[in-house]
Amino acid sequence: MSVDIEISPSLIARAHEFAELRARMKRILRDNDMEFDKFTVTERDSFDGFIAEASFTEFLKDNIGLREDEIARWGKDHPIDGKTLEKIIIYPAEKKFSSSELSMIRDHFYDKWDLLIRRVRIDVKTAATHLQPTGRWTYGVSKIQMEKGNKDFIVLNYLIYDKDPKANADATPIKCVLVGCLSIDYVIKNCPVVRKNKAAGHKYFIENYETKVSEYMDVSEMF
């Protein structure tokens, strides 16, 4: 489908705040032996993910006609109370967290899905680039993640920067390209399993299902 979504300065500011909070939560989990993800999630990953998810939800409301109360978000469904949030914000000045607070942070941080809409569990995927994606591109989806059975569809977005974000720390995102969606059980799990991105040539740390950008469907197909 491929839809370009404008990124506002206010969304970029909110994404920076979100990424910083996620980084603090990750440090807290690591310091308390509760860090379970295999590979390090960078601040840029959290930043990009926030923009993609926010852009996608606004697209759903503006173009699919969904109401805000029809869109459930993992973070809101697994909230962190105000007192614990204050301690996270000033960490490491405040280092004492109760077991219940740590469990709350863990459950909030390690989401099983991003969005839940009309009983459809959605995982919003994001890739950062300074190039315009084409149908010849491929996107690798973690085989381990897909086999957990917590999600029904993935939605792919490319966050387009003004220059290569991998080489320039000051790169700024200018638009979000919503590519479309794929069913996990019926499409992704039938894709080839690879350790290298066929189109871009870079290697993956783990096995990925290789999806083709040209095969992503209109997101309305999920509902």
Under 8 Å CB-to-CB from 30, ≥6 apart: which residues? none
Torsion sign across C-alpha atoms 39, 141, 143, 71: positive
Phi, psi at residue 176, to the nearest 5°? -115, 125
Under 8 Å CB-to-CB from 33, ≥6 apart: which residues? none
pLDDT of residue 159: 97
DSSP string, 158-183: EEEESS-TTT-TT--EEEEEEEEEEE
pLDDT of residue 41: 58
Distance between CA atoms of 4 and 52, rounded to whole angstroms?
11
Pairing mode of beta strands 173-183, 120-129:
unpaired
pLDDT of residue 37: 74
Q: Which letter does DSSP use for residue 217 in this model?
A: B
Domain that holds residue 156: 3-222
CB-CB neighbours of 78 under 10 Å: 16
The domain tally of the chain equals: 1
List per-residue pLDDT tens for the chain, 223 residues long. 789 999 999 999 999 999 999 999 999 999 999 988 755 556 689 999 999 999 999 999 999 999 999 999 999 999 999 999 999 999 998 889 999 999 999 999 999 999 999 999 999 999 999 999 999 999 999 999 999 999 999 999 999 999 999 999 999 999 999 999 999 999 999 999 999 887 777 888 889 999 999 999 999 999 8
Which conformational region is residue 11 in: left (phi greater than 0), alpha (psi within -120 to 50 degrees), or beta? alpha
pLDDT of residue 42: 63
